């Protein structure tokens, strides 16, 4: 007797699992977390457990940080895996990603966490140029086609975290392709058609807080401000979770 299941059995199990997933998703939207430059999916570790405890299916995407299209494709795979409706949460560059990926009909709301939110024809560089450039940009190194944060630059990324945590962020950073921030959005932004929410980091030294306020106002987002560096989902997780749950509850109605 073979221990390897037949193709028909596998197909049946997958259909059952997908159906069960869709049924769960119909009760609460999944929460799909999209990280930014110089980070990875673990940057959301402080907010994943409380969201799961509240009954949400949570997926933290691992973006390749190669092109906008590649990152959007990673989010779409996560949406396929989640099944049903979803709230997209984007941190930093992840905001540009959810602005594009959020056009998917399964997406019912967008939560920006100290994030970029371009309009059609805008790039991250275009947005950054609207206000004085933040200190972090003087502490980057380009190696080949990728940009890394120098060790002395982490304080401008996550200066309100303990030094040991900053050291871990430095060690686990995801280097970013040099062309990402020059990529212009080539479609209508999802924030023009989906309910949007924004967490502004008042002490952000990676994205100018005034730019964050401009973006939140432009998209008519429900916005909150926290005394945070560029990583409020780590330093102020309760506030971020509360806003995500607000977005999810609106989507459930």
Per-residue confidence in pLDDT tens, the chain, 253 aa: 344 454 554 444 444 444 444 444 448 999 999 999 999 999 999 999 999 999 999 999 999 999 999 999 999 999 999 999 999 999 999 999 999 999 999 999 999 999 999 999 999 999 999 999 999 999 999 999 999 999 999 999 999 999 999 999 999 999 999 999 999 999 999 999 999 999 999 999 999 999 999 999 999 999 999 999 999 999 999 999 999 999 999 998 7
Alpha helices in 56-206 (DSSP H): 68-82, 94-101, 124-128, 155-158, 163-172
- At 253 the pLDDT is 76
Task: List all residues 6 or more positions away from 150 whose beta carbon is below 8 Å from its beta carbon.
Answer: 139, 140, 141
Q: Which two tokens stand for residue 133?
A: 């450039």
3-state secondary structure of 15: helix
Task: Identify which of 219, 124, 227, 231 has the alpha carbon closest to the alpha carbon of residue 176.
Answer: 124
Domain 12-252: CATH superfamily, name plus number: Alpha/Beta hydrolase fold, catalytic domain (3.40.50.1820)
pTM attached to this predicted model: 0.90
Element (H, E) at 190: none
Q: Domains of the chain: which residue ranges?
A: 12-252
Distance of alpha carbon 211 from alpha carbon 117, whole angstroms: 10
Distance of alpha carbon 143 from alpha carbon 124, whole angstroms: 20
- At 251 the pLDDT is 92
- At 5 the pLDDT is 53
């Amino acid at each position: 007797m073979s221990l390897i299941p037949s193709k028909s059995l596998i197909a049946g199990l997958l259909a059952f699992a997908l159906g069960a997933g869709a049924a769960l998703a119909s009760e609460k939207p999944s929460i799909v977390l999209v990280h930014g430059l110089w980070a990875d999916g673990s940057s959301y570790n402080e907010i994943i457990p409380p969201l799961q405890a509240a009954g949400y299916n949570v997926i933290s995407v691992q973006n390749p940080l190669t092109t906008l299209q590649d990152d959007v494709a990673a989010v779409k795979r996560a949406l396929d895996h989640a099944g049903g409706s979803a709230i997209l949460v984007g941190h930093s560059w992840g905001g540009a990603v959810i602005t594009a990926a959020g056009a998917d009909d399964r997406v019912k709301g967008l939560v920006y966490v100290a994030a970029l939110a371009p309009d059609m024809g805008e790039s991250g560089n275009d947005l950054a140029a609207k206000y004085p450039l933040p200190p972090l940009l003087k502490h980057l190194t380009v190696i080949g086609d990728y940009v890394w944060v120098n060790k002395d630059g982490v304080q401008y990324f996550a200066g309100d975290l303990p030094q040991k945590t900053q050291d871990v962020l430095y060690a686990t950073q995801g280097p970013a392709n040099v062309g990402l921030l020059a990529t212009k959005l080539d479609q209508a932004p999802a924030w023009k058609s989906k309910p949007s929410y924004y967490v502004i980091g008042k002490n952000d030294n990676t994205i100018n807080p005034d730019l964050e306020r401009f973006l939140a106002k432009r998209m008519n987002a429900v916005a909150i401000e926290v005394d945070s560096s560029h990583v409020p989902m780590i330093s102020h997780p309760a506030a971020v979770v509360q806003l995500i749950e607000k977005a999810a509850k609106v989507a459930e109605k």
